[in-house]
Amino acid sequence: MCASPTFRILVVDDLTDNLFLLQTILEAEGYDVDTADKGSVALAKVEHSPPDLILMDVMMPDMNGYEVTQSIRQNQRLPFMPILLVTAHDDTDAIQGLALGANDFIRKPIEFDQLLAKIEAFLRFR
């Protein structure tokens, strides 16, 4: 019997409740989840041990999700990893995030079936 690989997801959000909720849902689906409560912490974790996928809130106090995405994409030493930005904002912000290197967006409030389908689609061929 062949075991499926366990993918590591880094969840980045400045709100503890959001981190806990997303971590709980993703771990229930079999993912290995790490969390970061600030953009700078996320960058340090990505550089130390790159995850298979990043789920990142856009609005954070120290570095927003766009700045973290741009920093990751500009670092040539990092392998490619899908980045899904989580936002409550409109399509103008989505275009900005995609231009900076994000792969997709999840809207708040989060539809968990949609979130899981997008994560699975990005990880399917890794």
Asked whether 35 and 12 are in contact (CB, 8 A), the reply is yes
- C-alpha 19/C-alpha 54 separation (Å) is 13
- Cα torsion through 111, 53, 83, 43, rounded to 10: 120
From the options 1.20.120.1200, 3.40.50.2300, 3.30.360.10, 1.10.260.40, give the CATH code of 8-121: 3.40.50.2300
Query: pLDDT value at position 91?
Result: 66
Residue among 108, 66, 103 at smallest CA distance from 84? 103
Residue among 86, 100, 26, 92 at smallest CA distance from 56? 86
- C-alpha 78/C-alpha 69 separation (Å) is 12
Query: pLDDT value at position 1?
Result: 40
Asked whether 45 and 81 are in contact (CB, 8 A), the reply is no
DSSP 7: P
- Tens digit of pLDDT at every position of the chain (126 positions): 444 579 999 999 999 999 999 999 999 999 999 999 999 999 999 999 999 999 999 999 899 999 999 999 999 999 999 999 998 876 667 788 899 999 999 988 999 999 999 999 999 977
Asked whether 81 and 102 are in contact (CB, 8 A), the reply is no
Q: Mind giving me the DSSP string for 45-74?
A: HHHHS--SEEEEES--SSS-HHHHHHHHHH
